[in-house]
Every structure is written in C-alpha cells, then in structure tokens.
Amino acid sequence: MPGTLLIRLKGLGDIVHVLPSLQMLRATRPAEPLGFLCQKPFGAIVPASLGVKVFELRAGATFAETLALARRVRCQRYDRLFDLFGNPRTALLALLTGIPFRAGFDYRIRRWAYHATFTPPDPNLHLTALFGQFLAHFGCGGPLGHPRLEWTSADEALARELLRGRGRPLLGMNPHTTYPSKAWPLEHYRDLAKRWHAATGQPVLVFWGPGEEDTARRLVADLGPARAFTHPALTIPQFVALLARLDLLVTADTGPMNIAWALDVPTVALFGPTTRRAVAPRGPRHLVLHHPDLACLECHREVCPDGRCLRELTPDLVWRELWAKHSSPSVHLPPEAGRVVSPPENQEIISDPPSDHGHGPQGATLGIQGLAGGPGRGGPPLESSDPGWPFLRSPATGAGLSQNGMDGRWGAADIALGNRRADPSARRAAVFLDRDGTLNPDPGYISRPEDFELFPGVGKELRRLRDQGFLLVLVTNQSGVVRGLISPGALAAVHTKLKARLAEDGVTLDGIYVCPHHPEFPPETVPNLCLCRKPAPGLILQAAADLGIDLGQSFAVGDRMTDVQMAVNAGVRPVLVTEAPPAIPPIEGLAVAGSLREAVDLILGHPRAGSGDQDRVAT
C-alpha cells in the first residue's frame, strides 16, 4: 500500500504549522500509512488520533544514529517523501531512506537529494499555507483546517492542579527564545508582570522548556510570589494542557506562540528579526506588535549587536495595546446600583507611588497610562524603576495615593476631590465591606430584591463602626450583570433594599462600588480585562479617590481570599470572616474572625498606625 512521509525537523512552532497538512492527508487518505519525521521530542505534539507514525532524531545525532533512523524508515516502505525543512541533514536523510519519490524545496546543492523540487511563488507565505501549497504542487493537496492539539485526561488533571487556587484572568509569559535576537528583554517581561498585578491583582504564570528553568525561576524570584509563579518540568502534552487554560499569553516568536494560536488562546506576539507574515498568529483574538519604524526589521540575524527592534518595543507600548484590545466592554449601571470604576481614559493606574512631588526615581515611564489610547492626559508621566503597589492618579491634578508608612502599604495621602486637593486632616478611615457571604447569605446570583436579606445583626454591627467615625463602603463583584443573569435595574433594586434595611438601624453607606465584569464574558471578546474585579484593587482605589479615604487607616472585610488579596493589593488591612479558616499562606496584617461581630471587634480594637496603643480611630 502506498504511504507518505513528511519531514519537518524543527522547531516546535513550525511543526504546529505542519499539523493541518497531516490532518488533510489523513482525511483524504484515511487508510494510507502516514509518517512524520522530526527532532526529538517535538513528535509529541502530533495528535495520536491522526494515526501518524512518528520518527524522532535527537539533536546532535551522529551519522550512525542518522543511518539507523533511515533504516527504520525504510522498513515502512513509504512511496512518497516530502521534505518540508530542506536543510543538509534532512536532505541526507531523505536520500538515505531510498523512498521511490522524494520532493523538497529547491535549495542549492540539496536539490540533488530529491526527484522533484518546489519553488514557492511567495516564500514568506504563512507556513500553514506554504506547506499546503507544497503538497498541492505534487498532487497531494486538499482543504486545510486549523491545527488540532490533543492531551490526555491526566494531562488536564495536572494542569488543573497546578492552577488550583489561582484566579482569573490568567496571563502567561514565555520569556525564552531559541536565539538571542528574537528575545524581548527580560526586564520588559518583569515590568509587564508588575503592571499586570497592579491592574488585576493576579500573578502571571511564567512558562519554560528544556534549558530555560533557571531563567524562569530567577524572574519569578525577582517578582515575588504575589506577582508570578511557574510550573515544574512538563512533557509537551502537559505543557499544551496548561497553556490551554490561559486567558492571555505574551511571548516573542516562539513555539509556545504557535501552540497558543492553535489553541485559540489570545496571544500578544512580539516580533523583531523574524518574518511576521510567515508565522504570526492570525485571527481577531491575537495582537502582533513590532517596532514602528526600524528599517532593519525582519533581518533574520540570530545575534544582533544593536537589538533596538525589541528593546525599544517598550512595556508602555505593549501594555497600552494589550489593554486597548482586551479591556472589558463598558457596563452602565443606574446610580442606585452602585459606582463602576472609571474607565482608563478618565484616570490612570500607576504601578508605583510618587514621591511628595509626584515623581519617583528617574527611569522608564511605567504604569497603565491612557490605556485606551495614548498616554495619560494629566501632568507629567510618573517615572519609576520598580513598579509595585498600584494607586490612582487624578488626570486633572496629578494627585495620587502615596506612601503613608503603614507597613509599606499605600494610603490616600494626596487624593484630589473635584478640583481641589484633599486636606490631609480631612481624610477619614473606612471599612470596605464585601456583600454576598459577608452581609447577607450567598445563594448564588441574587437577581430579585425579594431574595435579598441581611444576616441578623448586620445593621447594629455596622452602626458600631459608624459611631467610631469609619466610612462604610460596599465593594462587590457582580459578574451576573455581564453574564445576563442580573439586570442593572434588578441590581439597583437589591441595593435599594439593602440601604433600606441598614437605615432601620440608623446606618448609611457612604458608597457602593460594583464590578460588573468577568474575564469570560462576553465570550466573543475574551479575555475581558478590567481594573476592578477582585482581587484587583480598583474598587477600593476608586472609592479612595472619590471619598478622600486614608487607606493606611482602613480595613476590608470579606468572606473569601479574593477579598483578602484585594485588601493587600490596595494597601488596607484585611479581615477574613469565616467559621472554618482555610489553609492560607502567611499574610502580614491578616485578621481572621468567626463572624461580622468579631470582625468589628478586631477593627475597633486595632490601634491607629503610628500612635500609642490607646489611640483609637475616632470621629
């Protein structure tokens, strides 16, 4: 029976682009033997369901090993060989197999290893199409689909375990490349990871492959566990299963870039010396970025003494483009439902606090500045060499939240109120309150006011806080809005009832702040990024800017670890309300209470930062 052998020695990403051709050959020749030869271990990317016999040659193989592999291929008695790589080694391999018909690219002396050659009309055609065009030239063409990848249920279970307890959205970074000129600088990845954490409250997942672990772990160590984590050594199918769970991947021109494209994981692909048109991820979910005007782009040098093409592709530019493409659609709520965090064009989230004069150390301009299109509009850009805790900055005045000396966290030392700066003596402490599970039972999405009731005694406990001068601010994730499970009007009705019930105990909320977003909704625009979904600090920071809150003297109370993480990210003291404390890592300043009453006792018993033990927060 006739059979076909395809050769594409490396790399992993290029082999992803061969998969549509293998899929097509299997569909058009279902009973025909089909083989594929590549470098070890890349054959693991070929789906077992295709029934392809995979031959692997290790990198640096001796001539004896090459000859032994050719003998194994001969035993299969293929009658067609298509060399889709065309370097001297694969040309020699093709010749040694003795297959009756051998075809390859028309490359110099290598052409003599083949019976027929192919010269592509457009050598920079996207690889998937180029390989299909090659096969069609020799009468083996057919419709090409999207590459399909497979992994086992055990691979899936491992991926789930590695991400257990991790939140969404999940950003992956692959800071490695096969040669130096393709690499985006490691300090740029570090900067981007800090911005991501400052905006979303989530860490990034740093990927690595053979020979790359040390670099990945150094990056994770530099960023710290709040901002980054990584994985153990993985097989290729395990790597694929883990990458499939990302919301977004940032990478240079690498194998993981092509895997993410095959998986339809939204990808930010950063290009310099390689040809974008040949390999860049295609489709509306992906973003391909490169230097705007260098004449030497796509030079194909493996080592470049200049390196500006990727060095000058700054984190600022990448961050702005990333956020402009993937930010959540606007959701408008009635005033009674609560306040939504201002969109980026109305404020800036900067990743390091300014000095008293609004500037940090000299360095690259950092932060989420003018996310929806261009730099922020108010005052000079903040400069910093090490972005960390996030804070708000008013575009009207340049005012922001600055360090207040409370255990290294940030307080509202310089928040603009309207067109004037807040008088420091007028700043007040606040308690930020989660809603569902903290103030009221959490049966799921509460979409009707008749389904909403406070826990007994909530009003009286909040009155104790109010009597001691605390502002009371509700901060709540309500993704049921964007999911279509709760209408904005229904949310307004629920919160109207909430306020009425609290009023019965003489309690008024100073603000209600709502995140109506979710990374997975709407599905057609995944990932939907926002500044406010817990554990992002946006709800607290917006309230601080609106109400003149001293974050260093404030607390956040909630029943989930996302509430704790939000508090830490915003620089307020977290209080976790739970009857069964979960296993949690040590978190400085975290208090655990068995009830809302205990939480209030803890807050009222806490001394003011920088004062004597008897100096309490008061009106």
Mean pLDDT of 435-449: 96
Report d(CA 227, CA 201) in Å as an integer: 8
Mean pLDDT of 460-483: 97
Q: What is the mean pLDDT of residues 44-59?
A: 97
Q: Please report, in angstroms and rounded to a whole number, the separation of the first and last CA atoms in the chain.
A: 90
pLDDT for the residue numbered 608: 63
Letter for the amino acid at 203?
Answer: P
The whole-number average pLDDT for the span 199-227 is: 97
DSSP calls for 525-569 = G-S-B-S-STTSSHHHHHHHHHHTB-GGG-EEEESSHHHHHHHHH
> What is the amino acid identity at position 69?
L
CB within 8 Å of 351: residues ≥ 6 apart:
194, 195, 198, 366, 367, 368, 384, 387, 388, 389, 390
Mention every residue, 6+ apart, whose C-beta is less than 8 A from residue 289.
268, 269, 270, 271, 313, 317, 318, 321
**Considering 436, 546, 550, 563, which one is annotated as catalytic?**
436
Q: How far is CA 39 from CA 46, 66, 215, 348, in A?
A: 12, 11, 24, 48
- pLDDT score for 372: 28
Residue 62's pLDDT is what?
A: 95
Query: Does residue 367 or residue 26 have the better pLDDT?
Result: 26
- Copy the structure tokens of residue 74: 């001969």
Instruction: Using pLDDT thresholds of 50, 70 and 90, give the confidence band for residue 585.
Output: confident
Give the whole-angstrom CA distance, residue 251 versus residue 269: 5
CA dihedral (259, 260, 262, 265) in degrees, to 10, reads 160
pLDDT-based confidence at residue 619 (cuts at 50, 70, 90)? very low
From the candidates 83, 434, 550, 563, which is the catalytic residue?
434
| Tens digit of each residue's pLDDT (9 = 90 or more) over 359-398 | 222 222 222 222 222 222 222 222 222 233 233 332 222 3
Distance of alpha carbon 82 from alpha carbon 140, whole angstroms = 10
pLDDT class of 579 with cuts at 50, 70, 90 = confident
Mean pLDDT of 207-219: 97
Which residues make Cβ contacts (< 8 Å) with residue 468, sequence separation at least 6? 604, 616, 617, 618, 619
Question: How does residue 586 score in pLDDT terms, banded at 50, 70 and 90?
Answer: confident
pLDDT for the residue 424: 56
Look up residue 519 and give its two tokens.
């990374």
Least-confidence region, from 292-301, 466-475, 500-509, 555-564:
292-301
**Residue bearing tokens 């009830």:** 595
**For 256-266, how does the pLDDT look when each residue is reduced to its tens digit (9 = 90+)?**
999 999 999 99
- Can you tell me the distance from the alpha carbon of 382 to that of 365, in angstroms, rounded to the nearest whole number? 6
Average pLDDT over the chain, rounded to an integer: 86
- The answer to whether 264 is a known catalytic residue is no
The SS3 call for residue 411 is strand
Average pLDDT rounded to a whole number, residues 189-218: 97
Model pLDDT for residues 348-357, shown as the tens digit of each residue: 443 433 333 2
| Residue 530 pLDDT | 95
* pLDDT of residue 482 exceeding 60: yes
Kindly give, in sequence order, each residue whose CB lies less than 8 Å from that of residue 596, ignoring residues fewer than 6 positions away: 438, 439, 455, 457, 458, 461, 557, 577
**What confidence score (pLDDT) does residue 305 get?**
87
Q: Which of 327-331, 366-370, 503-507 has the highest mean pLDDT?
A: 503-507
Give the pLDDT confidence score for residue 510 in this predicted structure.
98
Name, in order, each residue with C-beta under 8 angstroms of 164's C-beta and a sequence gap of 6 or more. none
pLDDT at 309: 95
Which amino acid type is present at position 118?
F
Tokens of 210: 């053979």
**What is the β-pairing status of strands 53-57 and 34-39?**
parallel
| pLDDT given at position 449 | 96
Between 564 and 357, residue with greater pLDDT: 564
Number of C-beta neighbours around residue 457 at 10 A: 12
CB-based burial label for 342 (10 Å; 0-12, 13-18, 19+): middle
Pairing of strands 348-350, 391-393: antiparallel
- The distance of Cα 212 from the centroid of its chain, to the nearest Å, equals 20
If you average pLDDT over residues 30-58, what whole number do you get? 97
**Pick from 318, 306, 299: nearest CA to 175:** 318
Burial of 143 (0-12, 13-18, 19+ CB in 10 A): exposed
Q: How many residues does the chain have?
A: 619
| pLDDT score of 552 | 95
Judged against a pLDDT cut of 80, whether residue 401 lies above it is answered with: no
Q: CA 381 to CA 350: how far, in whole Å? A: 9
State what percent of residues in the chain have pLDDT above 90.
Answer: 78
Of 105-114, 171-180, 287-296, 412-421, the least confident: 412-421
pLDDT for position 583: 76
Q: Which of 33, 51, 53, 55 minimizes the C-alpha distance to 42?
A: 55
More confident residue, 351 or 168: 168
If DSSP codes are grouped into helix, strand and coil, which group holds residue 206? strand
What's the CA gap between 438 and 456, in Å, rounded?
Answer: 11
For each of the domains in the chain, give its residue range(s) and CATH number, in order of start: 4-137 (3.40.50.2000), 153-326 (3.40.50.2000), 414-604 (3.40.50.1000)
**DSSP 8-state symbol, 141:** -
Q: Amino acid identity, residue 580?
A: A
- Please tell me the distance from the alpha carbon of residue 512 to that of residue 497, in angstroms, as a whole number: 13
Taking only the tens place, the pLDDT of each residue in 596-616 is: 999 999 999 998 644 443 333
- Is residue 434 annotated as a catalytic residue, yes or no? yes
38-42, 171-175, 531-535, 581-585: least confident range: 581-585
